[in-house]
Structure 1
Amino acid sequence: MEIKSVKIFDSKDVQNFLVLVSGLEQDGGSPRVKQILHRIVSDLFKTIDDLDITSDEYWQAIGYLNTLGQSNEAGLLSPGLGFDHFLDMRMDAQDAALGIDNLTPRTIEGPLYVAGAPESVGYARMDDGSDTNGTPLILHGTVYSAKNKPVPNAKVEIWHSNTKGFYSHFDPTGEQQPFNMRRTVITDANGQYKVRTIIPAGYGCPPEGPTQQLLNQLGRHGNRPAHIHYFVTAPDHRKLTTQINVAGDPYTYDDFAYATREGLVVEAIEYTSPEDLKAFDMESPFAEMIFDIHLSPLVNGVDNQVVDKRPRLQG
């Protein structure tokens, strides 16, 4: 017997049930959580109704969510489905409404930040020399205020992967020491920061993991270009979360996490001559990347877009 499609979402019974499920008739609890849950469950009920989602399909989705949690990949799937970029788009729109021009674009944080990286003033060596496959890199720039003045004592946190695409603290090979390729640099009296490190590699989602398995169903790859993450903070300015992509990477403009933005693609200029090596105090051919950073002002004395992202690993 053919099962006939039915639509019950708009019925009084279902609408009353949604109120009950969301606790809207209860005095206790959080009004905000009730509001959000009511909307989410309502939208999911309507999706089931509109698309005739079967019980088998529903329980496959529940199994997928269990696997996603067990694999600790929710923070990876989120940018892959565009949620992180959508939040950036909303913050961009809020800034536009306030008349704030972000000369250095924000972009997604990603799931692999670790607090507590070693701190130094002006300059830091980020890599420990153990990854011999990487091209040495000098990365530097100036942090500017909202009034386009260099900012001394700004806090510049930088982190990136090794040439295998793995981050310290999350490296499944166990090869990296804690805080390898993670540093905090306080800008000098001229607002400048400089690090020596290596050019990172891009990477892909774990091929057998739940994120890539869902992307396969969408006909999408799970690759990211070579990139370097930043947090930048300074008094009287909003915290900037951004990252730069290495120009020329095949995935620079095809990032599964949608983090590439104009103004955040930086060329790695290669140097090989003895004169260049001497000028930069380098012992072998290397690359240079220059990334200047422009901060934006507080809004009525408040950082109106600071993100309290949880969980973050404490090193």
Structure 2
Amino acid sequence: MTTKVFDTKEVQELLRAAANVDGRNGDARFKQIFQRLLSDLFKAIDDLDITPDEVWAGVNYLNKLGQDGEAALLAAGIGLEKYLDIRMDAADKAVGIEGGTPRTIEGPLYVAGAPVRDGVARIDIDPDSGAGPLVIRGTVSGADGKPVAGALVECWHANSKGFYSHFDPTGEQSEFNLRGAVRTGADGKYEIRTLMPVGYGCPPHGATQQLLNALARHGNRPAHVHFFVTSEHCRKLTTQFNIEGDPLIWDDFAYATREELIPHVVERTGGLALGLKADSYKEIEFDFVLTPLVSGKDNQIVQRPRAAATA
């Protein structure tokens, strides 16, 4: 169709009516965002001559996305979550906030309610013959270099099959397997005793992989470990590091890799004395540097739906 209708009075009035722009009630901010997004969609249909068949294919895809519960996974896969990080990085630069451990995406698989330990936590609750022991340790400090006492380090990652507890389709994992939290002492130190994670892919028959297939993209992630780090006097840090040597580190479908988030993996012995499953184990030392509040507020708190459970 060569005829363009977007700029016609009829279509512009339709957009205003659909968003109820002239109505007194409703959320003004939501109306503003909704009208803009709907307007952009209408214009794309006009500019690209998107057919009714293609529109309804998209609507049906959204139905499948909801049925599969993969909207948050798709947000990572299409770069939306990375884009939000880019905007926050730019906002920090604009107000002169420098340094600190780089942020990166949260992903869709956090579960609130993990048990909190002081200083050291062992989080490999379930046996896993496919994974060797891993110790993650380091210090939480502020921008001034001083250790942060009382900081909460939350950690979660996949097992050797690439599944996260609480979301494991096999049902084999305990609720908080490979999930835990550590409260730092006066020295700011934390230690997490766990198992080495592996990389994994999107559900092969899910809506996210369906979209990626149409783009000729894979849906795989390198092995990684997620963290939230919070403190009363610093901003919340959302980050993760990748496991050194994973071939997908720079080909992560979720775009979460950053140069500073690939710590060195060291071979150690003495794991049995630490209560690990074997004497030989791997160790990753990773220090967190938190950034100061902005005008006394933490502007890194993101409100989004998250799973929760009781330990």
User: What TM-score comes out, normalization by structure 1 length?
Assistant: 0.95
Residue 5 (structure 1) shift: 2.3
Determine whether 1:305 maps to 2:300: yes
Match of residue 134 from structure 2: 137
Determine whether 1:84 maps to 2:81: yes
1:41 to 32, 38, 54: 38
The equivalences for 1:191-210 within 5 A come to 191-210=188-207
Contact 2:112–2:306 (8 Å) recurs in 1? no
Q: Deviations over 1:158-178 (max 9, x none)?
A: 011100010100001111011
2:281 to 281, 286, 298: 286
Match of residue 291 from structure 2: 296
Letter in 1 for 2:243: V
Match of residue 110 from structure 1: 107
In the alignment, structure 1 segments of 5+ residues that lack a partner are: none
Residue 184 (structure 1) shift: 0.7
Contact 2:271–2:280 (8 Å) recurs in 1? yes
Report the secondary structure of 1:266's partner residue. Answer: coil
Determine whether 1:264 maps to 2:261: yes
1:246 to 243, 247, 250: 243
Residue 313 (structure 1) shift: 3.2
Q: Which whole-Å CA distance do the structure 1 matches of 2:116 and 2:147 have between them?
A: 20
Letter in 2 for 1:262: E
Contact 2:65–2:208 (8 Å) recurs in 1? yes
Letter in 1 for 2:149: P
Q: Deviations over 1:205-241 (max 9, x none)?
A: 0111110011011110000010000000111111000
Report the secondary structure of 1:39's partner residue. Answer: helix
Report the secondary structure of 2:15's partner residue. Answer: helix
Residue 310 (structure 1) shift: 1.4
Q: Which whole-Å CA distance do the structure 2 matches of 1:163 and 1:133 have between them?
A: 5
In the alignment, structure 2 segments of 5+ residues that lack a partner are: none
The equivalences for 1:10-89 within 5 A come to 10-89=7-86
Q: Which whole-Å CA distance do the structure 1 matches of 2:308 and 2:205 have between them?
A: 24
Letter in 1 for 2:73: L
Match of residue 128 from structure 1: 125
Q: Which whole-Å CA distance do the structure 1 matches of 2:306 and 2:120 have between them?
A: 29
Q: Deviations over 1:19-77 (max 9, x none)?
A: 11111010000100000001000000000000101111000101000000000000110
Residue 311 (structure 1) shift: 3.8
Q: Deviations over 1:122-178 (max 9, x none)?
A: 001010241121110011000001211001111000011100010100001111011
Letter in 2 for 1:293: F
Residue 262 (structure 1) shift: 1.6
Contact 1:146–1:237 (8 Å) recurs in 2? no
Letter in 2 for 1:37: F
Report the secondary structure of 2:279's partner residue. Answer: coil
Determine whether 1:217 maps to 2:214: yes
Contact 1:137–1:286 (8 Å) recurs in 2? yes
What is the total number of aligned residue pairs between the two structures? 309
Q: 1:102 to 1:309 in 2, by over 3 A?
A: farther
Letter in 2 for 1:175: E
Report the secondary structure of 2:234's partner residue. Answer: coil
Q: 1:26 to 1:209 in 2, by over 3 A?
A: same
Q: Which whole-Å CA distance do the structure 2 matches of 1:83 and 1:112 have between them?
A: 16
Contact 2:79–2:254 (8 Å) recurs in 1? yes
Contact 2:85–2:104 (8 Å) recurs in 1? yes
Q: 1:281 to 1:174 in 2, by over 3 A?
A: closer
Letter in 2 for 1:110: G
Contact 2:272–2:279 (8 Å) recurs in 1? no
Residue 291 (structure 1) shift: 0.5
Letter in 2 for 1:132: S
Match of residue 143 from structure 2: 146
Q: 1:170 to 1:27 in 2, by over 3 A?
A: same
Contact 2:110–2:306 (8 Å) recurs in 1? no
Report the secondary structure of 1:263's partner residue. Answer: helix
Report the secondary structure of 1:138's partner residue. Answer: strand
Q: Deviations over 1:251-285 (max 9, x none)?
A: 1111000011121112221235xxx5578675421
